[in-house]
Amino acid sequence: MSFNLYLYRSSRPGEGWTARVVSVEEPLRDTVCPVEEPKRFHETTKAITLGGGAVGWVDLWRGILVCNVFDEKPVLRDVPLPLPARGNWEIYHRCGPYFARDIAVSPQKDVIKYVEVEICLPRKPTTTKTTETCHPPEPESYLEWFRQQQHEDEDDDDDDEDVGGWKATTWSLPVPIASWENWHFDYTVDVDDVTVNPLHCNLLPRQLQPTEAQALLPGLITAFPIMSMDDDLVYLLSKASPKDQMQVVIAVDVRRKMLLGVAKLVTGKDFTFMRTCTSEISKYINNKSSGDVSKASASLSAASRGVADKQTEGLMQKFTSRQCPGENSKERQKLFEYLRSRRS
């Protein structure tokens, strides 16, 4: 598996852009976490810098291709991500990854941080029948499920759109990367276990009494996680109903299992299937400075190392909305149909 690597060296401006072919040293992802007929071996969703000339191109479904661009003969290393959560096996590599996953680099701790949100939908009440239906045993691992899965079309005409909560799990990988097997499980939090501060109740999509706040959070549709760079916060978009627009962004401390902040989104703007990125780039923008390219590049690099503010008041200043590539209306409908079909 080969790719074209394009480099621009500011120390050699006369050379302009140079290109060379680089190969994946040892492809691992198809063995670690196979998928059916992938369109591409790798689809870059974001790029990260890891220090010392190392750059990572992230495919949020399949893994990271890491390359030290300073090497005389650079090669690509395949670093698969942790196996998908049980509730995400069926959507794995079948919709936009921003719906459930995110990656950030913490330069202060020299780790790559990864979060996956598992959407948990409730089961419908089963109808009593005179005959019993035998079901195959639940697979115990993703690989077992992948080998056993059968493609069956299941019609679901039920328009009931209740939700059943979510679960977030975080992992970390030390930098420099020695092996993909060094992914370390950090924390997992179920929405039912999240402590809600009554002060945040009036900002949540439904107006409830403080005593009802704990029961409200699991009933919200929540997705599109953003991993904080230097703490244990995960930011998520939430709304009250699939027919509503995204209404708030919430900040959850996955280590302490606490809701730390709630901020309303811009009124009238549809944030459904939109991705958000934490940033403090505004700190480094100087309207009075003409600057040159090298200064602008340094500013952007520094901005990527910003620390997310924990205060609710400034929460929305750290979010810039951008449409997810490839997530068109057909894909949205397909995803919603799948989520409804999950309720057996």
Domain spans, the chain: 1-80
The pLDDT value given to residue 201: 62
Q: How many CB atoms lie within 10 A of CB 239?
A: 19
Cα distances (angstroms) measured from residue 45 to each of 32, 61, 63, 79, 115 = 20, 9, 10, 15, 15
CA atoms of 191 and 213, how far apart (whole Å): 12
CA atoms of 261 and 253, how far apart (whole Å): 9
CA atoms of 309 and 38, how far apart (whole Å): 38
Element of type H or E holding 138: none
CA atoms of 103 and 315, how far apart (whole Å): 19
pLDDT confidence bin for 281, thresholds 50/70/90: low
CA atoms of 344 and 329, how far apart (whole Å): 25
The secondary structure of residue 91, as a DSSP letter, is: T
Number of continuous H segments (helices) and E segments (strands) in the chain? 5, 17
The pLDDT value given to residue 268: 57
pLDDT confidence bin for 330, thresholds 50/70/90: low
CA atoms of 274 and 301, how far apart (whole Å): 24
Burial class (CB in 10 A: 0-12, 13-18, 19+), 44: middle
Q: Where are the alpha helices (DSSP H) in 53-162?
A: 142-148
**Any bridge partners for residue 101, and if so which?**
116
Question: Tokens 């941080």 correspond to what residue?
Answer: 113
The letter for the amino acid at 303 is A
- High-pLDDT (> 90) share of the chain, %: 22
Rg over CA atoms, the chain:
22
The pLDDT value given to residue 94: 74
Look at the pTM and tell me if it is higher than 0.75: no
pLDDT confidence bin for 307, thresholds 50/70/90: very low
Which two tokens mark 119?
């959407």
pLDDT confidence bin for 174, thresholds 50/70/90: very high
Question: Tokens 């949205």 correspond to what residue?
Answer: 332
Burial class (CB in 10 A: 0-12, 13-18, 19+), 115: buried
**For residue 332, pLDDT beyond 70:** no
CA atoms of 69 and 61, how far apart (whole Å): 24
pLDDT confidence bin for 169, thresholds 50/70/90: very high
Which two tokens mark 229?
């760079």
Cα distances (angstroms) measured from residue 174 to each of 85, 99, 114, 308 = 21, 25, 12, 20
